[in-house]
Chains A and B, each alone.
Chain A
Amino acid sequence: MMRAWIDTLFAFSTTLRNVGRRRVTEPLPWKRLRAHPERYRAGFALTDDEHGEVACIACKACENVCPSGIIRVEGERRESPVTGKKRAYPVSFVLDMNACIFCELCVQVCPSDAIRMRTAWTIPGTSREDQVLTLERLRANAREGHLSWATPGRLRAMQDPERKNGEGGEP
């Protein structure tokens, strides 16, 4: 019986030692102790190309690869008002974050560096529709920033079997 008390007190000495340690829980929403790393995968954004037009060419690669089947892209071909060349544009782009598993496969396959993930979450909403990202919302997300390091091109450069060491591996 005495042993049990001594051991219990000894275990409590570790507890006491931990009282003095730096706290690790985040006192949200008042303060953040640590930022997400650059590769963090949370929200989504559709970026613009160098001409200021949406970079997406509505190729549906992301729609086909998405394991949850939550991306719908409709596109049309038209002349670019900037460059005068004909290319495909998305008419509607819907990404339903309600069922997203944040696997990053849509980013993995995109041929035109259009879709990227963000390190910031979408503001919590009060309805399911608030988590459905449309073309406008995705482009607004891109303008707002907080984009993850991984672009489709960077990811594939990092995974390239022919790559020289170090190349593409650096965020």
Chain B
Amino acid sequence: MVDAHPSHEPVAPALVEVSGLSLPAAITHLPRPDPYLNVEDYEPEADAMALNMGPQHPSTHGVLRLKLFLDGEICFKAVPYVGYLHRGVEKLLENRTAIQSVPYVDKNDYVSPLTGELALVMAYEALLDVEPPPRAQVLRTILMELQRIASHHLWLGTFCLDMGGALGGGSSVFLYNFRERELILDLLEALTGQRMHYNALMVGGNRHDVPPGWEEKVLATMDRVEDRLAEYEAMTVDNHIFRSRTVGVGVLDPLLALEAGAGGANLRASGVDHDLRRDAPYAAYGQVDVRIPVETAGDCYARFLVRIAEMREAIRIVRLLVSGIPEGPIGALKPPRHVNAVKLPPGEVYVGIESPRGELGTYLISDGSPIPVRVKIRPPSLHAVSLLPYLCVGATVSDIVVILGSLDPILGEVDR
């Protein structure tokens, strides 16, 4: 009986203390499969088979190849192969100046390009010791939260698509989510001029100020998005089929999540209360009190609940901030007039921000020349993909599709 799954009951779950953290006892210290299992040594009960899922498969959310070793329909070993989308972004950034490099990181996490831009731009700002003016900080925060809503919309749509046609017929939820995502892209388009690859930020501030009437449009869109979100919740949260596909599927041990460096909703659904927006505030997050949703069941359903709650929270933050954007300039540095306008001092910095998928970090080393010596991007999706060899074992192929969808990896970011 899936409905009686104990961990989604509203009672407080039992906790265990592990190295200073209180983790939900029911999913901590779960037995771990061996990801390096020798297939020859395995004794299958039914027919053994190797199945390649991807790279060109719609439910791998990009170009991920999963090699599954199946015992009948149950997977006993899973090997993810990444790199099909490798474009050498880090190397490109090591050959570009601070001004030129911003549009490149847009292409990493193409579902949430603005967070990629912010992570890079903030690394340059930390190196230069520049603080953007308050108006830019608040605008950036609004943009990040709008981007989070758009990103979670795309995730929710594809997640329900992976689940099959039980939810309102065919790809209904998918199309509805794209419809609402378009509304947010319209806002970003009116502000920056592009729908996906914005190049909206620059070192020291933003490139674009808000056009007239933009704030009212944002508020109207937030009303619409919130209204429709309630519809999707009604279709999914209590839906018997949705629950039977997600509850208890792909349970992620919080210790494993921490060891693998997973972040975002994947971590918070396993009972670890960690979010850089609150724990290490950047941009204008210090001015708002960000409420972090945490679930303790660690399964696909918990990750779904966390993301839905995050969307509501993002709507709340946008509403709070958009009505009080402070006056003033949007840049701290003179607008760039040539390619070497930003002079880098020698030094090393690491900056991490909370992207919709977890901690997105940029590590930058400069020797004082106009271009950085080394740029390393820490993509949260790579760490989510690294969980697959553990989560897929013991699941059926149809569950693996759901598990992969619930982790929300973006392969452009994994491969860079």
| A interface list, Cβ under 8 A from B | 3-4, 6-8, 10-12, 14-15, 17-18, 24, 34, 36-41, 61, 64-65, 67, 101-105, 108-109, 111, 117, 148, 150, 155-156, 158-163, 165, 168-171
Contact = CB atoms under 8 A, between A and B. Distances in A.
A162 B329 contact: yes
Contacts of A37: 189-190, 193, 211
Interface of B: 96, 99-104, 133, 166-169, 172, 176, 179, 182, 186, 189-194, 197, 199, 202, 204-212, 231, 234-235, 238-242, 244, 327-339
Given A159-B202, A159-B207, A105 B241 contact: no
Contacts of B192: 39
B103 to A, nearest CB: 4
Nearest to A4: B240
A15 B100 CA distance: 45
Nearest to B192: A39
Contact of A156 (B206, B335, B339): B335
A158 B199 contact: no
A103 to B, nearest CB: 4
A6 B182 CA distance: 31
A38 B211 contact: yes
B335 A7 contact: no
Given A7-B239, A37-B193, A155-B207, A103 B199 contact: yes
A11 B328 CA distance: 48
Given A12-B168, A14-B235, A161-B329, A4 B241 contact: yes
A27 to B, nearest CB: 15
Contacts of A7: 238-242
B193 A41 contact: yes
A33 to B, nearest CB: 11
Contact of A148 (B193, B328, B335): B193
B168 A14 contact: yes
Which secondary structure characterizes the binding site on chain B? loop
Of A36, A67, A102, A108, which is in contact with the most chain B CB atoms at under 10 Å from its CB? Answer: A67
A67 B103 contact: yes
A159 B211 contact: no
A14 B211 contact: no
A8 B241 contact: yes
B235 A105 contact: no
24 contacts: A4-B241, A4-B244, A12-B168, A14-B234, A15-B168, A15-B172, A24-B182, A39-B191, A40-B189, A65-B339, A67-B104, A104-B193, A105-B103, A108-B336, A109-B338, A158-B208, A159-B205, A159-B206, A160-B329, A160-B335, A161-B204, A165-B329, A169-B210, A170-B212
A95 to B, nearest CB: 16
Contacts of B101: 67
Contacts of A65: 99-100, 336, 338-339
Contact of B193 (A4, A10, A39): A39
Contact of A67 (B100, B190, B241, B336): B100
Contacts of B329: 159-163, 165
Q: Which of A6, A105, A160 has the most CB of B within 10 A?
A: A105
A38 B211 CA distance: 10
A161 B332 contact: yes
A34 B244 CA distance: 41
B289 to A, nearest CB: 27
Contacts of B334: 160-161
A14 B167 CA distance: 10
A168 to B, nearest CB: 8
A14 B207 contact: no
A9 B205 CA distance: 50
B179 to A, nearest CB: 5
A120 to B, nearest CB: 13
What 6 A-B pairs come out closest when comparing CB atoms? Answer: A39-B193, A103-B103, A169-B209, A11-B168, A156-B335, A159-B335
Contacts of B197: 101-103
B197 to A, nearest CB: 6
Given A11-B235, A14-B234, A169-B209, A101 B338 contact: no
